[in-house]
Structure 1
């Protein structure tokens, strides 16, 4: 990533446009005219690296967070603490969503993503959740391409 991209990403994060900053972070690096990696153009015209690392370095999406929020049950607080969310923040989230469990879990996961920034990859989240012995069927979608 060049300096200009880094500056724009920081500015986007300051104005709470994390989704745009994440998209910018996922743009393949370029060196001169040639790409550092071979790329593949998607149907929408976006170039993506052709490698197994593409999935590993992809920031977890809001859609993936919502899918996960629908699968996490009563252990959401334990998961939040394991992800590094403070007990105070978890209480605040619970107060924000007293009747909607899925929204509560989603907000907790979204907060984790904001805190992790570049490390908030689907692969990283999968690894953290696997350490907590969550069912593979509930979290393996995080590793699938194109989700």
Structure 2
């Protein structure tokens, strides 16, 4: 190559081979790809949900959490309880199976003495939840037993039992309101502990009537 004055000029540039041209093209495409991926990461980070810090059980540190544009946020553990329909609790039944008819109990069951008010007062504190069964065996129907409970139940079940037994005694002749009748009703009505206590009480001096 010659200049205007006719001198020779030397060119610094060297010709580029086809393989070098391909390398340059690939390098340019890689830069574009890196730039595009960075833009996508920025967009992704700007639209992602805020992270929620997990609080370990037993931690006493105060942690402040900010929720922005969230939905159905749950904090804490999930606790699931499984339960089956509960069957009604069985009625309490005294352990009366061990109580047998001893000689003393048999003597009480055959006693022809008239029941005293002192004995009725004592029994009203020792007859339990089967008192209605005892009342049925003494000749009362359900309506009459309900009436005793309605009239005296506010003062406690003891008062209902006392009034029922007192009514039974007062409404019978002396030969009907006997120890044997009442003791048999208690025994058949599964109030056998009361019978056993009555036997233990027999022969002891009776306390003065206080009710």
TM-score by length of 1: 0.54
- Asked if 1:125 corresponds to 2:182, the answer is yes
Q: CA distance change for structure 1 residues 106 and 141 in 2, over 3 Å: closer, same or farther? A: farther
Unaligned segments of structure 2, at least 5 residues: 1-106, 207-211
CA contact (8 A) 2:134 2:185 kept: no
**1 CA distance for matches of 2:186 and 2:153?**
24
Higher strand share: 1
**2 CA distance for matches of 1:142 and 1:124?**
18
CA contact (8 A) 1:129 1:139 kept: no
**1 CA distance for matches of 2:200 and 2:121?**
12
DSSP-derived class of the 1:56 partner: coil
Unaligned segments of structure 1, at least 5 residues: 1-51
**1 CA distance for matches of 2:134 and 2:181?**
14
**1 CA distance for matches of 2:170 and 2:141?**
14
Return the match for 2:167 from 66, 89, 111: 111
TM-score by length of 2: 0.39
- Asked if 1:137 corresponds to 2:196, the answer is yes
CA contact (8 A) 2:133 2:189 kept: no
The offset of 1:141, in angstroms, is 4.9
Matching residue of 1:84:
139
**2 CA distance for matches of 1:127 and 1:81?**
12
DSSP-derived class of the 2:129 partner: coil
DSSP-derived class of the 2:184 partner: helix
Q: Which has the larger radius of gyration?
A: 2
Q: CA distance change for structure 1 residues 111 and 142 in 2, over 3 Å: closer, same or farther? A: farther
CA contact (8 A) 1:126 1:142 kept: no
Q: CA distance change for structure 1 residues 143 and 131 in 2, over 3 Å: closer, same or farther? A: farther
Runs of 4 or more consecutive aligned structure 1 residues displaced over 4 Å after TM superposition: none
Post-superposition CA distance 1:61-116 (Å, at most 9, x none): 11100100000111111111111112121111111112211110001111221233
* Alignment RMSD: 2.5
Matching residue of 1:60:
115
